[in-house]
Structure 1
Amino acid sequence: MNRIFIYVIILICLGACSDPWDDRYQTGNESDKNLVQLLENDPELTGFAELLRTSGVAAEITGNKSYTIWAPTNTALQALPSSIRNNSEALKRFVGNHIGFLENFSIDASEPMRIKMINGKTNTFNGSIFQSAEASVSLTTKDILAKNGVLHKVNGILETKDNIWEIIQQESSNATNGYILDMVNINVITNVRTNYFQTEVVDLSNEDSLYTYIMLTDAAFESFKEELKVYYKDTLPEGEILKAYTLGVAKDLVLKGAHYDAPPSMLLSVDSVEVYLDQANVVEQINASNGVIYVMDKFDFKLSDKIPNIIIEGEDFDAVSGSRDRVSIRPRSWASGGRDVLVRGHGTASFHLTYRVPNANSVKYRVYWRAVNDDYIPRDNEQRIAINEITNPTFGYQWVVRNTFEEVFVGEYEVDLYGNLNLLLTSASVTNNDWNTMVLDYIRLEPVFE
């Protein structure tokens, strides 16, 4: 009797348990049919089934791979423009904008998922809403399992948009776009042309990320360029443009994320510069597949972000004038980066460490240092910074006062041309080791905007 009772309990439990796989689809299991057959057999989806066949996409999704289809109902397809329906290339892109790779169940999209579509675009799915660029449709029926994927029914259509890079190419007559398109490197061996805005700033053809792009009107762009030109002075012949200048102008025209509706007034560029987006300056909004373009007649930015402070850590020296044995990198909790550098016992007059500063702008800098004598010797010591050459007299010797942790103003220096700058931290010009010690936490160059 006990054995029979146990069997009964087991049978009841088995009957009560559901297969976790069954919980993944809500509407039904049609796994003996493929996705195209499901569409053809559903009276609400015959229109999309016909578009699949007409576009040639049906043949592409009948293999062994898995797909997810967000199929517009026949009612939703009534809104499909004839310009798409009667253009084979546009129709294929449209159909592909509703078909994603792999199986994507609504239960898996509790957080928005970025779905790669077979037309190369990337759309967003949150379980109940399917979104392409700024447009979205709602699911009316979810998670119908097929032999080669999953089918959802949706109440609208999602037209395919060009990405930002494609629009830049189409609108090449705009001064901003033309400037970016001209940022070209040519390999002297292979003669291959590459756009260094795409490789060194951001790839605006990338469909897997979202951006906001500022396209300035021609007048606004010329004004913006002129404002920055003074900080990139160079000796190039007339007509040649310094690459650093072109990058400096263009790199902050792309902002992080896509802000289709009511964007915040302050946004960060992909280079983390603060950009101010005043709706009153927006001339036009163009929505793209990987973001949004704002055509603007004025560009506001924080100049101190575009021409930033330069921080040189004391321990990051590039060269030593004598033996490195007398150079110590010290861990210090109070130091910038947790370390500073101490040089002592070298027995050399004007012993120096060289710091190579790349990409210094053509601007006047206020120079500061933080140099802390935390009782490594029982007296103050003196040191100075020389510019480019050890004999440069711009800055004289200054005392490093014991147990002074504050930043100290060293002086001002005008950089005439954009480029590299050498700073030489120099000890006292004596051989007496009691007096030629030097120390550095960091040097800071602060641009002066007059």
Structure 2
Amino acid sequence: MRFVFTSKRARLRALLVGGALLGTVVVIPLHASASTPGTITVTNTSSPFSWTSDAFPGGLNVTNSQGDNCFDATGHPNPRTPSGPTACEVFTLQVTVPAGFWTTNSGGAKLDFVVGNNDFDYYVYAKNLDGTVGAFVTSSATGSIGDDEHVLIDKADGAYYVAAAAFTTVSTYDGHASFFLGATIPNTPPKVKGGLTNYRASHDIFTSHSEPHMVMNPLNHANLVAGSKMYVNNKHYLFRIGMYSSFDGGRTWNDAGHLPVPACPSTDPCSSPATITPADCAGDGPFSDACRFTTSDIWLSFDDEGNVYGIVLVSPSSNTGSGWEMWMYRSSDGGVTWPLANRRVIHNHFNRTLSPAFLDDKDAIAVDNYTQAGTGATFTPNARRDGHIGNVYACWGLDGTVAPTQNQVFSTSTDGGNTWSAAVPISGASNVREIGC
């Protein structure tokens, strides 16, 4: 499944060039200015430039969004405002490099701000030819009072507006502008020769595919098995896991469609009808329970007898609701078919009280093909096609009833996936718990 995280404070440093690019900086005695110039010019041959701004007594610009209140309604910079809730100043950064310079060079322009006993935030925008503010480029708006700010503009070229928002200020800041170079970029051949041919696996009715996983049969390296989300409605994120198989090393593929789920009525989570198509789930809803029945996060593994196992997380309620379970599927014909009779429930969270902050997620499955199934200190070697299957292991992030009780858990099958042990926490109650395995 997918997650989106936002920071507590809508002020995030966006450094577009990593520290590795800072290997070469031309150090030349600084030019200096007693106040912030209207325009600062930086070139690939210029000396660094420094200045000290005029004072910002009582700056309290705490409600700006990426320096938006530094510009007027027409997109032009506001006059310098040294105090109050719109305290800000805007200057132009003009960066000039020869034509084609960034084709063979890496680097850009660098702005460093020593803020003293203040909290300034700095936002960089493109400057349009008519003098209005253009697209947002990058920013440095971290920390609090006394935290210096640093802005890197990757492969800078042209005119930029730099808005200095006086978040919480009493005095001046010191600014430094410089040009820096990283490693030289070698010429790229116009055409890469000798690459491998790509072969398309999906030739089905579904509207999109994502989060694939693929394995190779250890008994037949030409037999590949893959799975992915197969969408029935992209806009509303409706999908189930579907399967593919190949017996010629991936040149051609068989499409098995969605993994089967129980038809209703059933004591297990079920779908009525059991199968769905994009036509069944088109539009903007409301959607049937069958369209909202979700299987996701396929992971695959072969044993040394030719069986392939898949684990999926299951939500019978929707792709956002609670009730997640872990199911195992098994195919004994190289991934061509996945009989519902071979499905097993590894872990049942159906109709349980779950924390809305978490979900059972990021699952994985593996087979021990080196030792025969069992427990204890003594292990018997396992040979291919000897009729013995090693332990099958499943791992996932297990939801708890009250946050933060999510844990990485581990379950074992000693009979080829037919039965599974209770989920055992392995991340430890006092450890920081990531999502999944």
Q: TM-score per shorter chain, which class?
A: under 0.3
* TM-score, normalised by the number of residues in structure 1: 0.23
Where is the strand percentage greater, Structure 1 or Structure 2? 2
What TM-score comes out, normalization by structure 2 length? Answer: 0.24
Q: Higher helix fraction: Structure 1 or Structure 2?
A: 1
